[in-house]
Amino acid sequence: MLNLSSLDYSVFKDKKSIFSWAPSGAILFGNGAAKRTGEELKKLGVKKATLVTDQGLVKFGIADKIIQSVTGAGIKLDVYDECKPDSSVETVDKIVALAKDSDVVIGLGGGSSMDPAKAAAILVTNGGSIRDYQGCDKFTAAPLPIVAIPTAAGTGSECTPFAVIADRQRAWKMPVGGTGIMPALAICDPELTYSLPASVTAATGMDALTHAIEAYTSRCTEPISDALAVQAIKLIAPAIRPVVYRGDSDKDARYDMMMGAMLAGYAFTTASLGISHCMAHPLGAQYHVPHGVANALCLPVVMEFNMGAWPEHYADIAGFFGEDTYGMSVREAAKVGVQCVYELLEDMPIKPLESFGVTEDGLERLADDAMEGGDRPNNARMTTKDDFIQLYKKVMTLKK
């Protein structure tokens, strides 16, 4: 019989290695929290700030709420509001030009605003191009402090020390990381997500679920990340359908999704991710498949591939989705865990890969780039190039 009511650390295998845990600065979480942005910046002694956001948030009046709050607190503010999906090296350079005299950079939006804000914070104090800082801890001077205000429950960038920037010259999504870009303040206000359309809610929510599941099943898990990942899955699993189907009115589900996405971000800060992200990044860089859509499609296929490497944790996932696995073997319960995510994908308004122009001819190049993914060594199961080709083929059969 499985014990799904508590974590069994006998499956936490690597008790000899040392792990570090460096949480972010402050978190302000709750409905209406964004209105307090100016007040919070004032407490931090900020005199001048740069806001990084996009035209969608300007149009829906969300950027204006933050602008009013910040300028109302007597803080000078410059605004860059031209962020686009998959923010690029060039976008980062434009933000740097604006943020040179600022005390803080505020990223308002999804990863496409928070990540270039983080990258610009590095360049303001270190100089050069963000290409010089690809990888982990490549900068020496402390970046400008970062305030992150997510407007979707997805990326978790508000509480991770990572940013992903698109290098269009190389058709490559470039990871940049270091504890200096962990936001000094995360302001998480579920109200900011109420007006998100169903398709964006689904894609970003599936990204958050992928973070939680990949963190829970990676080779780098440790007890703190496990606790966070478990709670993230338990929050996201029952909330994701309600926020997609009735996200304008189910405020409790919006709250749970934002909390789940944040916890998942913390979880993968130490536990890392897996090959769903190795597969998703080239799909974004080469075919402009939105990050959450790519992960939504890859996640169940990757879980099925990985399941045998750590069946106990995949069996736990069935329980976190509310399935009764009493009397099942661990392997049977693990299969139920995978099936839960296949069924969830069926219910999500996610487009198939073919609608982005992905064909079998392109799989070789996608697999080559997936092999270069930084999270491949962290995945529960070793993965070869041929494995990636077979996995992409399976992903192409979904949502037809």
Residues that bind Fe ion (CB under 5 A): 207
Tell me the closest approach of the beta carbon of residue 291 to Fe ion, in angstroms: 6
Residue nearest Fe ion, CB atom distance: 207
d(C-alpha 114, C-alpha 192), whole Å: 15
- The structure tokens listed for 157 are 């960038």
Q: Nearest distance from residue 99's CB to Fe ion, in Å?
A: 25
CA distance 178 to 16: 24
Orientation angle between helical segments 291-306 and 385-396, nearest 10 degrees: 120
Q: Which is nearer to Fe ion, 207 or 316 (CB)?
A: 207
Q: Three-state DSSP class for 342?
A: helix
Q: In one letter, which amino acid is 83? A: C
What residues does 186 pair with on adjacent strands?
27, 148
Q: Are strands 172-177 and 162-167 parallel, antiparallel or unpaired?
A: antiparallel
Judge whether 213 and 317 are in contact, CB under 8 Å.
yes
- Of 63 and 297, the one with the shorter C-beta distance to Fe ion is 297
CB of 368 to Fe ion, least distance (A): 21
Dig out the tokens for 92 from the structure.
């980062």
What are 273's two structure tokens?
Answer: 């991710």
* Shortest Å, Cβ 210 to Fe ion: 6
Q: Which is nearer to Fe ion, 40 or 207 (CB)?
A: 207
Specify the 3-state DSSP secondary structure of 48: strand
CB of residue 376 vs Fe ion: minimum separation in angstroms?
A: 15
**Nearer residue to Fe ion within complex by CB, 81 or 207:** 207
Q: Which amino acid is at 360?
A: E
Cα distance between residue 294 and residue 183, in whole Å: 26
Task: Tell the smallest beta-carbon distance from residue 275 to Fe ion (Å).
Answer: 13
Q: Please state the closest distance from residue 173 (CB atom) to Fe ion, in A.
A: 10
Nearer to Fe ion, 207 or 222 (CB): 207
Contacts of 333 (CB under 8 A, 6+ apart): 2, 311, 314, 315, 318, 319, 323, 325
Q: Name the one residue in this structure whose structure tokens are 């205000």.
A: 149
Q: Which is nearer to Fe ion, 38 or 154 (CB)?
A: 154
Nearer of residues 34 and 273 to Fe ion, judged by Cβ: 273
